[in-house]
Amino acid sequence: MENQTIVDALMLGLLEGLTEFIPVSSTGHILLAGHFLGFQSTGKAFEVLIQLGAILAILSVYASKLLKLAADLPRSGLAQRFVLGILVAFLPAAVIGALAHDFIKTVLFETPKLICIMLILGGIVLLWVDRLALKPKYHDVMDFPLPVYLGIGLFQCLAMIPGTSRSGSTIVGGLLFGADKRSAAEFSFYLAMPTMAGAFAYDLFKNRAVLTSADLPIITTGFIAAFIMAVIVVRYLLDYVSRHGYALFGWWRLIVGAVGLAALYIWG
C-alpha cells in the first residue's frame, strides 16, 4: 500500500467500527477521511478488508443467538424461514455487487463530492422516516414475511453508492415495510453478516494479485481497531434506537456531508 501509516490505519479502523452498524455510511466516512489524510490503499482494498473486524464483532456479540438458530434449524420451520429470508435479502446485493464491482471501486469510490451529497440526502431521508407516524406490524426479525425480507434486500442495493449506508438503507427499508425501530436495526445486523463477508471474500479475491505482505500490518491494524469499536457499538445500538430513534444519525450525516463539501471546496 502507498501513502499510508499505521496511525492512519488505526484511525480509519476505529472509524469503520464506529460507523459500520449505524446508518451513517462507514464506507463514506472512511473514503472521505482517507481522502483528506492522503491515505491510498492498493486497489481500495483496505476500506473493504478491514470490515472483517466488524464482521467478527457482530459474530461475537450474536454468538449465542446464532448457535441457537443453528441448533433450531433442523426442526424449526420458523428458523428455516428466517434463514431463507436472510438469503433472499442478501441475493440482490450479491448479484449487483459482483456485476458492478469494478465500476463501484474505480468510479464511485473515487468521487468524494458524490459521497458528501449522498450523506446529506440520506440524512434528510432518515430524518423524514424517523418522524413519520408509522405503525409497526413486526416486532421480531423472525416474523417478517418473505416479501419484506426481499424488499429490505432491494433497499440494501442502494448502498452500492458510497455515502448511502448499508445499514441506513436496510433500516429505512425495514421501517417502511412495517418493522419497528429495534427490529429494523437488528435485521440489518443479521443481513450484514453474509453481505459483508461476501464483499470481503470477493474483494480479497479480486485484489489477490496486487496485495503483498507489506500490506498486512496496515490491514491488520485497521481490522483490530474496527473489531474493538464495532463490539462496543453493537452492544448498545439496539437499546439506543429503541428509546431515541434515528434522528441523531440523520443530523450526523447532514453535518458530515456539509463539512465534507466545504472542505472539498476549500482544499480540493
Confidence of residue 2 (pLDDT cuts 50, 70, 90): very low
Q: What DSSP string describes 161-227?
A: STTS-HHHHHHHHHHHTTB-HHHHHHHHHHHHHHHHHHHHHHHHHHTTTT--GGGHHHHHHHHHHHH
Rounded CA-CA distance 41/125 in Å is 31
Which residues are CB-contacts of 201 (< 8 A; sequence separation ≥ 6)? none
Q: What number is the average pLDDT over the span 43-56? A: 80
Does residue 31 sit within a domain? yes
**Structural domain total, the chain:** 1
Does residue 225 sit within a domain? yes
The tens digit of pLDDT for each residue in 62-95 reads 999 999 999 999 999 999 999 999 999 999 999 9
Outline where DSSP puts E strands in 39-182. none
Does residue 73 sit within a domain? yes
Q: Is pLDDT above 50 for 1?
A: no
The tens digit of pLDDT for each residue in 210-261 reads 777 777 888 889 999 999 999 999 999 989 998 999 999 999 999 999 999 9
The tens digit of pLDDT for each residue in 147-174 reads 999 999 999 999 999 899 999 999 999 9
Rounded CA-CA distance 248/263 in Å is 22
- Cβ–Cβ contacts within 10 Å for residue 144, how many? 25
* pLDDT attached to residue 108: 80
Does residue 52 sit within a domain? yes
Does residue 1 sit within a domain? no
Does residue 127 sit within a domain? yes
pTM of the model: 0.88
How many residues would you count in the chain? Answer: 268
Q: Which structural domain range is residue 26 located in?
A: 6-267
Does residue 148 sit within a domain? yes
- Cβ–Cβ contacts within 10 Å for residue 228, how many? 13
Does residue 146 sit within a domain? yes
Q: Is pLDDT above 80 for 48?
A: no
